[in-house]
């Protein structure tokens, strides 16, 4: 179920630990239909960011742990 979700929605579920599939579906639907687009954009950006320094995902060059 979770593999088919948008990255931001999947992250939201991992953060909130729903107790069962019904709770997970409800939480995912509420998150997808919420107006919290700023939080979603941040999470989506972090999920797709590629560092130009080390070429690894999840951060950008100024925040690279390998510098």
Cα separation of 13 and 5, whole Å? 10
Q: Is residue 27 classed exposed, middle or buried when 0-12, 13-18 and 19+ CB atoms within 10 A define those classes?
A: middle
Question: Following CA atoms 17, 18, 20, 21 in sequence, which dihedral angle do they give, to the nearest 10 degrees?
Answer: -110
What pLDDT, on the 0 to 100 scale, is given for residue 65?
A: 92
Domain range list for the chain: 2-63
What pLDDT, on the 0 to 100 scale, is given for residue 19?
A: 93
Whether the per-residue pLDDT at 61 is higher than 60: the answer is yes
pLDDT by residue (tens digit) across 4-58? Answer: 888 888 888 999 999 999 999 999 998 888 865 555 555 666 677 889 999 998 8
């Amino acid at each position: 179920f979770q593999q088919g979700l948008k990255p931001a929605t999947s992250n939201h579920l991992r953060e909130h630990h729903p107790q069962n599939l019904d709770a997970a579906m409800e939480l995912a639907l509420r998150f997808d239909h919420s107006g919290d687009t700023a939080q979603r954009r941040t999470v989506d950006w972090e999920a797709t960011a590629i560092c130009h320094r080390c070429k690894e995902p999840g951060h950008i060059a100024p925040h690279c742990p390998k510098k």
